[in-house]
Structure 1
Amino acid sequence: MEQQNITTASEAGPQDSYDLRHGFRVGFLQLLLQSQTRSELHRCERLCSIPDTPDWFVGFINHRGDAVPVYDLAASLGLGITDPKMGWLLLLDAQPATAAVLLQETPQGITNPDVADAAPYPELVDGICSGQYLYRNSIWFEFDHRAYFSRQKQRFIKTDSAIPA
């Protein structure tokens, strides 16, 4: 499995410190990882899909001996399905809380984004974003991955409860 580590913070000294964040596109949305988020980027290989699950749940991967759930972020937001054979896995947090989102493109470095004036979030990202930033004249929504993963778990619970016994 091809791996790229995405650093969580700069080790620069105080006089030349900067805010390095990582952002990625999902459809027309530009999402930014929260500061200090532990993340790893992998090519999508050896994915174990689960039959009869929603399109937005891709399956599991074995990551260092642990089963990690993988979610198609675009599909869960209604922005199309990402092809796992062409996608990237962005693993977030350390075990036992690690989960992954499937992305079409690799994240990019975003340096020193400015806090944007608070405006209502688009309905698509309401409840899974914790801020808005301006970078190169465009808005980036800060992705609250923990809220997103909690929401996806709740969707499974609702789906399971609708299945007749």
Structure 2
Amino acid sequence: MMEAMHTQSVTENAGTEPQSTLRVEDVDVEIAESETERKWSRVRVYGFQLGPLNLLLPQGLYCELLNEFRLSILPNVPRHFAGLVPVRGNLVPVYQLQPLMGMPIPRRPYVFVLGSGQRCGALLISQKPVMQDFTQLEETPLPTSAIPDVLQPAVIGCYRSKESAESPVWLALDHVRLFSQLISA
């Protein structure tokens, strides 16, 4: 519980009536966090795996996971363009990064929709995304040699758990840059 001491002072301006002002001075504060307060103070972000890579998405990004979907395949498109999937009346482009990274395409993939509106796209992934507590991660140097060429323009940061230097590296991904890169590839 935060405690603060309130003091009221009266000041006089020449020829006017006294004005009342409120000044707050902080005193010793004891914060006793409950389990609920700790849960609400977390910054949660989605993370997902793409082969050996762990990728993080920005907080607040609209995401949707489709495990049953009907993919419309188009002729004469690059191999990394999987097709279009209908999502609430809109056709969303679906990309598979695996061929660009020398990995096999998942046998039973999920369609992971990232964003909404015109900046929306989707990726084929093999495992369900997980929630990460961003407050438990710290920035670490970016291992550019370990990032595939197709992802390099879209990776905007690198993070690791504060608790262990041996924890896996999470690459922060800008989905708009990624989809722009995939369109031009």
Unaligned runs of 5+ in 2: 1-35
For the residues of structure 1 that align with 2:93 and 2:171, how far apart are their CA atoms?
A: 23
Counterpart for residue 132 of structure 2: 110
How large is the RMSD of aligned CA atoms in angstroms?
2.1
1:47 partner letter? L
Aligned pairs, how many?
Answer: 142
1:17 partner letter? S
For the residues of structure 1 that align with 2:68 and 2:178, how far apart are their CA atoms?
A: 20
1:96 partner letter? Q
Summarize the Cα distance change of 1:120–1:61 in structure 2 as closer, same or farther, 3 Å threshold: same
For the residues of structure 1 that align with 2:90 and 2:143, how far apart are their CA atoms?
A: 38
Counterpart for residue 97 of structure 2: 73
Counterpart for residue 179 of structure 2: 149
Q: Deviations over 1:104-142 (max 9, x none)?
A: 110011113422222342341321111111136111001
Q: Deviations over 1:88-119 (max 9, x none)?
A: 11111111221111101100111134222223
1:90 partner letter? F
TM-score of the aligned structures, taking structure 2 as reference length: 0.69
Summarize the Cα distance change of 1:97–1:51 in structure 2 as closer, same or farther, 3 Å threshold: same
Unaligned runs of 5+ in 1: 1-11, 156-165
Summarize the Cα distance change of 1:49–1:134 in structure 2 as closer, same or farther, 3 Å threshold: same
1:130 partner letter? I
Alpha carbons 1:72, 1:82 under 8 Å: kept? no
SS of the equivalent of 1:115 reads strand
Structure 1 residue 14, shift from structure 2 partner:
8.5
Counterpart for residue 17 of structure 2: none
Q: Give me the identity figure in percent.
A: 26
For the residues of structure 2 that align with 1:78 and 1:101, how far apart are their CA atoms?
A: 16
Structure 1 residue 152, shift from structure 2 partner:
0.8
Q: Does 1:87 align with 2:109?
A: yes
For the residues of structure 1 that align with 2:59 and 2:72, how far apart are their CA atoms?
A: 30
Out of 138, 144, 152, the residue aligned to residue 168 of structure 2 is 138
Summarize the Cα distance change of 1:53–1:116 in structure 2 as closer, same or farther, 3 Å threshold: same
For the residues of structure 2 that align with 1:139 and 1:151, how far apart are their CA atoms?
A: 23
Alpha carbons 1:57, 1:72 under 8 Å: kept? yes
For the residues of structure 2 that align with 1:49 and 1:34, how far apart are their CA atoms?
A: 29
